[in-house]
Chain A
C-alpha cells in the first residue's frame, strides 16, 4: 500500500521535474556496506538548503539547477560516515555508506558468526589490522607479537621463514603442541603455514581466548583460536590498489670475536707448541700479528639484503555480484648470503546474490612459497655442535700462516678430530642446496539460503591441497659431500628430495536463527561439521652420485640410502550449538556446546563434549549510572567452560610393529628385515581437557576517548595428553597417557586512548600488558620431575638442560650454580710452585681434581659433600617472561601519518649455549672465541668471571650461561604521506601514499647473543635455547600505495 503510494509520488515528481526545463534530476540509491538499502539518509546539495531523504528502499531523487556543474552532494545518516560526492554528469547514483564505527558497534568475527563488540560475553581480542599491516614483514605472525594481551609470539630465530610459535594464555600441554587453532575464512586448520596468507589480503584477525569464545571449536580449542578473515569486495565503483615496497635488511648486531692478534695470543697460551709450529714459523712472533686484518667470517657470510613486496588488488561489485582479486609477489634475501624466501600468491573471491533467498560465495587462494639456504640452527639428534653454521662462522680462525688466505679458499681442515666438523662457512652456504617449496591451494565454497525470514542455512565446503617439496644437495664443495670431510668421504656427493602432501577437507552446515521480541534478542546457531586430513610423504635420498654436475636430477645414478614413505589420516565429526540471548542490550548471556568425535581415539573414546556458558552485564545502561557521566559504557563479563586438545599422532591408541632398515639384523652376513614392537598404544587415550574461567571488565570513558579492558583467568588442564616416560623395563621408553595436570593463571590489561582528535591532528595510543603464571600440578605416576635434554650435540646428550617439576613452571633451566673461578686461595702451593687443590674444596665435575688450577671454572657444591654430581644440580632459571606486551601510537597531521609500535618482554631468561662453545672451551684446535675471553683469568689478572685459557670450563649447563632475556624493542615504525588532490584526480587517481617503514629498529636488552627473541628448540619443555642462530634483521623499506 505504502509502496503504491510512493510509486505514485515518484511518478508525480518525475512529471513535475520534466515540466521544469532548467533543472536536472539526480536519482540514486544509498546502501550500506553489507548491501542493504538505507532509508532515512539525508541527501543535500552542498551550500544550499536543497535536501531530500531516502525512502524505505534507500532510493532518492533530488532536483538540481541545470547550470551548476560543480555540484556536490552530501550524504548524512546517524551511525554512518558522511560522504561528499562531486557530480560529473551522472544521474543515477549508487552510494555506499560505511557505518561509523564506534568501538562498540564494531563487528567482531566469532566462531560460526559475527557479533557486535557491545554484545560480546567472551574474551575476544580484535587485532588492529591496519597497524599490523604497517610492519614490513612476510607474514602476519611476524608482526603479531605484543599487539594483543595474552598472546605470546616467539620466533625461533631470524631465518626467513623460521618457525613462529604463538601461545595464548600460557602452555597447557607439557609434551604436546600448544599452538592455537587457526580458522581461515571458517576453515579450521591445525598446522597451517601462515606464510601462505598475504598479509594485505587480511580483513581482520580475531583472537578467541576464553572458553566461552573458543568452546564452539571444542576439541581443538584449548590453546585458543585465531580467526582470520580475508577481504571481500564491497559494492561500488571498482577499486584498484597497488602497493610496492623495497628495502634493505641488516643484522641487528654482530657478535664480537677475537681479532687475528688476539686469536694467536689466546692460542699461544692455550696450546703453545701447536701455535708455535703453525704461527711462529719463519721467525714470526706474536707481535707480527698486531694489526693484521685476517678474515672476518661474519662479514664474509652476512650481507645487507634486499626485500621487495608488490601487491595488487582489485575489488568492487554491485547489488548482485561482488569480487575481490589480488596478486602479490614477495621476495626476501636473508642477511646470510644465499638464503631467502619467495612468495607468489593470488586470490579470487566472489560473492554472488542469486536471488532474494540464495547467496553463494567462492574464495580461492593459491600460494607458491620457496625458502632456501643453509639452515643455521636447530639441527637435531646425532648431530654435532660443530655442524651448525654459526660454529663455522664464529669458530673459523681469522688468520692462518698462509698469506693468500681468503674466504673462498678451502684452507682449513680439521679432519684429524672426529668431533670437529668445521668447514669454510662461505663455501658451505654457497654450495649447500637447501630448498623448501610449498604450493598450497585453498578453496572454499559457501552457500547461504534464507529458509525463512529469521532462519538462514549456511553450508560450506572447503578443500586445501598442500604440496611440500624438500630438496637437499651436497656437492663436493659442501661439508656433506666434500672428499675432505669424514662424512663426505663416506657418502660422496649426495642429495634427497622429499614430497609431502596434505589434503584437508571440511564440510560445515549451520542454521542461524535470530529473533527480536520486544527487548529480547535471541540468536541461535546450530550445526554439524565434518573434517578430514590426509597426509602422505614420499621421497628418497641417494649418495655417491657419480655426476655431481647433474645436481638432483642425477639422484637416480647414486646409491639409494633412504626411501621415505608415510601415509596417515584423521577425521573429525562434530555437532555444535550456541544460544546468545540479550535483554535490552543490558543483560547478556551465551551458552555453547560442541560434541566432537575424532578418529584419533579408540572407538570407546572417540566422542567428547565441550560446554561453556557466559554472562555479561552492561552496567552502564542501568539508571544509577546515568549520573556517572564520564563513563560511556561499562560491561562485566564472566565465563566458564571446557575445551579440549587432541594433538596426538593419528594412531597413538594402537601398539605398532616397526621394521626400519637401521635395526635389521644380519643372519650369516646377509641383512634380514627385523620387526620389533615399536610404539605402545593406549586404547584408553582420551582428550586433554582444559577448564577455563574468565572474568572481564570493559569500560570506556570520556566520550569513548579512553577504553580499558581487564581480564583475569584461570585454566586447569587435566588428563594431559602426556608423552610420558615409561620405565624402560617395560620395553618402551615412552607412551601417550592421560595423566598430569597444569594450571595457568593470568591477568591482561589493554588500555586505549584517542589523545587528540582534531580535524588536522589525531593521536591514538594503545597499551597492553599480560601476566601469566604457569604451574605443573601433577605429572606422570611416581614422577616428581621431568628432565629434558637438547640434542644440539652428542656430548650433551645425557645432560638435561630443562626440568619440569611438580609445583613449578613447565620449562625451567636445570644445572649447576656457577660459583666463579678457583682462586689461588683455594690451593696449596707445593715447593716446586705447583698448585694443589685444597682437600676441603670441591672439584668442578668436569676436570679431574688433580688437574684443577687457579682460574678454572667453579660450581657450587650445594650439599657440601665435596663431590659435584647430580645432587648439586638445581633450577637455574626460567624462560617464561613475567610479563609481555606492547605499546602502539598513531599520529596523523594533515596528510602526514606516523605509527610506531614498541614490543616488550620482561623477566624471561635465556640459555646462551654459544658461550658454552665460544668462551674458552678449549677442546678444539685453533677455534676462534668470543671477545669476552679477552678478560680471561691470568695470575696477573685474577678475576672471577672468565676462566683461564685451557680452563676446561663449561662442559655442563650452569647459571653462568643463563642470561636475562628481557627486552624492549621499537618493533615497527611507519611514516607516510598521502597525496590526494585535483592533479591526481585528473589522472583518475584517488590517492597516492608514500611511506617508509622499519622493523626491529632499536632493541634495548642486556642479552649478549644476537637477539633476545630466540628459541631454537622451541617447545613448552624447552623454551629459550640459543645456539648458532640465524641473526635477526632490522628492515627499512620505502613504499608507495596507489589507489584508483
Chain B
C-alpha cells in the first residue's frame, strides 16, 4: 500500500514533468533575430546590404588600415617615425601575430560571410524580383571585391562561397590563386548585369554598373601582372572593361582636381561630372561616442600635422603620422620643365604635398614651408580644415574614401593600350588626366617608345592617385616593388644630409624584404585553421 502510493506519486510527478517541461523548456529569444527569419522585406534586405558594405568601413579595411598601414611604406609615403617606434606594420618589422593583419583579414571575411548569408537566403522570400536582383548584384560584387582585396594582399586564400552555419568545420584550405581570380571575374561579371546604373543610384554610395566595369578592369590589370603574369590577353580585357565605362558617357573629370577631395572631406557629392565612382562612406565625428558609427581614421592619420592644444571646437588636428616621400616630390618634378613654361605648375603637386603646415587652429594654412625640405612635408590630399562637421574629433572624421575615380579608369585605359602597343591611344587617355591637372601634355616626342611611355604612365599613377591605397598594389603587379624600394634608399642617401633624419627615413627601406609583396596569413587564422599555410618568408 505504502509502496504503491510512492510509485503512484512518482509516476504522476514524472508524467506531469514530461508534459509540462517540453513547453516550459522551449524558450524563444525575444532580443535577437535569427537568420532564418531575416531577408524578408525591402528594409531588411537594405540593412543586410549595408552590413556587407560596412565590412569595408572598418578600422581593418578602408577606415584606416588598407590606405594607411597596409599600403604606406612605398615610394609615395612612409611612416614618419618621430619616436623611433618599432613594430609598425608599414615599417616592415612586424610579425604574423600583429593585429592589423588579422583585423583586415577578418573584416573582409566577415563581409564575405554576410554576403554569403544574403545570397543563400534571399531567393526564398517574396520580395520583388528587381529588388532581389539588385541586392544579389551588389552582394555578389562586394563578395568578389573582398576576395580581390584578400587575393592581392594575402595571395591564394580559401574561397568560401557558402555561409558558415556550423561550428564543426574549422579548416579551410587555400584555393589556387587562378581559381580565386576566376571566381572574382565571374562574380563581378554576373553582378555587372544586375546592379543599378549610376544614374539610378545617383551617387557613388552604392556600387553602379560602371563601378563594376571599372573594378573589373583593375582586376584584369592585376591578372596581367604579378603574380599571375597572364599578359596581353588580360590587358585587352582590362581595356575592354575600362572602355565600357568611358563609352557609357556617365562619368567625366571634374575640372578642379582639388574639388574631388574637398568633396570627400565635406561628405558632398557632385552630380555634374561624377568623377568619383565609388566611395566608402563615413559620416560624423564619432561624438558623442556610441551614438553613431565611428567614422574614418585614415584622414586624421594622414592629415597635416597639428598637435597644439586643441580649443573647442576643434578646427584642425592632424597626426601627420605618414608623410609623402621626397621621391613623390621628385616624380612631380619630372615633366615640370615644360609645365612651368607653358601652363604653370601641375596643380596636383602642391595639393597633395602642400607647401604649408597647419600653424594655428583658427587660421591653419598660414605656415609656409621652404620648397627645399621635400622630405619633411605632410600629406595634403584630404585637408581636415575642409571638413564641415564641427566640432572635429582628433581621431575620427567624416572623410569618404574613394575606391574608384574616373581618372583611374582613364589611366587604366592608357596603361592597357600602352602595354598592347597602341601608344597613340594610350597617350590620348593619359593626356586627358594630365590636362585636367594643368600639367603639360605628353607627346610622341616625349614618349617615343613603349618603355618611356610605360615609365611616364607609372609615374602618372603616382601623381594622380597617390595615397589612394593603390601604389603598393601597382608596384607589386608591375613586379618592381623591391627595386623601387631599393631606389628610395639610394635617393634618401643622396638627398638627405641630417644623419638622424636619414636613419629615421631609411628604416622602411632597410627593413623591407622580398616577402613583403604579400602580407602574412594572420597567426589567429593559422592557429585554428589546420589546412592553412603561411606565406613564403613569414
Residues in A lying within 8 Å of B, measured CB to CB: 413, 415-416, 418, 451-452, 454-455, 457, 483, 486-487, 489-492, 494, 509, 511, 513, 526-528, 530, 532, 541-544, 559-562, 565-573, 575, 597-599, 603, 606, 650-651, 654-659, 661-669, 671-677, 680-682, 684, 724-733, 735-737, 780-785, 797-798, 845-848, 850-851, 869-870
Contacts and interface: CB of A to CB of B under 8 A. Distances in A.
Contact of A869 (B5, B95, B113): B95
A926 to B, nearest CB: 16
Contact of B281 (A491, A530, A669, A846): A669
B452 interface: no
Contacts of A483: 312
Nearest to B93: A848
B290 A731 contact: no
A730 B109 contact: yes
Contact of A675 (B25, B51, B532): B51
B527 A661 contact: no
A797 B158 contact: no
A593 to B, nearest CB: 13
A241 to B, nearest CB: 41
Contact of A728 (B2, B44, B109): B109
B525 interface: yes
12 contacts: A454-B2, A455-B5, A491-B288, A561-B288, A599-B27, A651-B27, A655-B165, A659-B51, A661-B290, A677-B35, A725-B524, A731-B109
Interface string B505-538: 0010000000000000011110111101000000
Given A491-B288, A528-B14, A569-B27, A725 B164 contact: no
A216 B377 CA distance: 73
Contact of A415 (B86, B267, B309): B309
Contact of B503 (A526, A560, A850): A850
A669 B268 CA distance: 8
B135 to A, nearest CB: 13
A566 B283 contact: no
B272 interface: no
Interface in B88-134: 95-99, 102, 105-106, 109-110, 112-114, 116-117
A787 to B, nearest CB: 8
Interface of B: 2, 5-6, 9-10, 13-14, 16-17, 20-21, 24-27, 29-35, 38, 43-44, 46-48, 50-55, 57, 84, 86-87, 95-99, 102, 105-106, 109-110, 112-114, 116-117, 157-158, 160, 163-172, 202-203, 205-206, 267, 269, 281-283, 285-294, 307-310, 312-314, 391, 393-395, 503, 507, 522-525, 527-530, 532
B46 A728 contact: no
B269 A668 contact: yes
Rank and list the top 8 A-B pairs by shortest CB-CB distance, nearest first. A731-B113, A543-B288, A728-B106, A782-B530, A727-B529, A798-B99, A676-B51, A674-B50
Given A530-B20, A606-B25, A673-B50, 5 more contacts: A562-B290, A662-B292, A669-B283, A676-B52, A677-B113
B26 A672 contact: no
Nearest to B38: A657
For A542, A569, A726, A731, the residue with the greatest tally of chain B CB atoms inside 10 Å of its CB is A731
Contacts of A560: 291
Given A667-B281, A675-B44, A785-B527, A657 B32 contact: yes
A413 B308 CA distance: 13
Contacts of B54: 663-665, 674, 676
A489 B309 CA distance: 12
Given A490-B391, A651-B32, A655-B35, A416 B307 contact: yes
A782 B21 contact: no
Nearest to A785: B527
A730 B172 contact: yes
Nearest to A487: B289
A490 B393 contact: yes
A995 B112 CA distance: 69
A784 B526 CA distance: 11
A730 B170 contact: yes
Given A494-B288, A561-B290, A671-B293, A666 B281 contact: yes
Contact of A783 (B86, B205, B288, B527): B527
A661 B291 contact: yes
A667 B196 CA distance: 15
A891 B206 CA distance: 81
A122 to B, nearest CB: 24
A988 B17 CA distance: 55
A542 B503 CA distance: 49
The B contact surface, by secondary structure, is: loop
A615 to B, nearest CB: 25
A509 to B, nearest CB: 7
A562 B291 contact: yes
A554 to B, nearest CB: 15
Nearest to A679: B32
B50 A455 contact: no
A598 B24 CA distance: 9
B35 A657 contact: yes
A851 B504 CA distance: 11
A175 to B, nearest CB: 14
B527 A782 contact: yes
Contacts of B44: 675
A848 B29 CA distance: 53
A732 B170 CA distance: 11
A701 to B, nearest CB: 42
Contact of A846 (B35, B86, B110): B86
Contacts of B47: 659, 672-675
Contacts of A562: 290-291
Given A668-B203, A725-B524, A728-B525, A658 B32 contact: yes
For B34, B285, B314, B532, the residue with the greatest tally of chain A CB atoms inside 10 Å of its CB is B34
For A413, A677, A680, A682, the residue with the greatest tally of chain B CB atoms inside 10 Å of its CB is A677
B281 A675 contact: no
A731 B283 contact: no
A489 B391 contact: yes
B281 A665 contact: yes
A584 B136 CA distance: 78
Contact of B33 (A457, A656, A869): A656
A848 B27 contact: no
Nearest to B291: A561
A603 B21 CA distance: 11
A839 to B, nearest CB: 15
Contacts of A780: 170, 528
Contact of B288 (A544, A573, A728): A544
Given A662-B294, A675-B48, A676-B110, A727 B528 contact: yes
Contacts of B48: 674-676
B17 to A, nearest CB: 5
B73 to A, nearest CB: 15
B400 to A, nearest CB: 9
A457 B9 CA distance: 10
Contact of A662 (B113, B285, B293): B293
A732 B113 contact: yes
Contact of B525 (A492, A729, A736, A797): A729
A643 B397 CA distance: 53
A657 B34 contact: yes
B195 to A, nearest CB: 14
B174 to A, nearest CB: 10
Contacts of A669: 205, 267, 281, 283
B86 A847 contact: yes
B113 A511 contact: no
Contacts of A490: 285-289, 391, 393
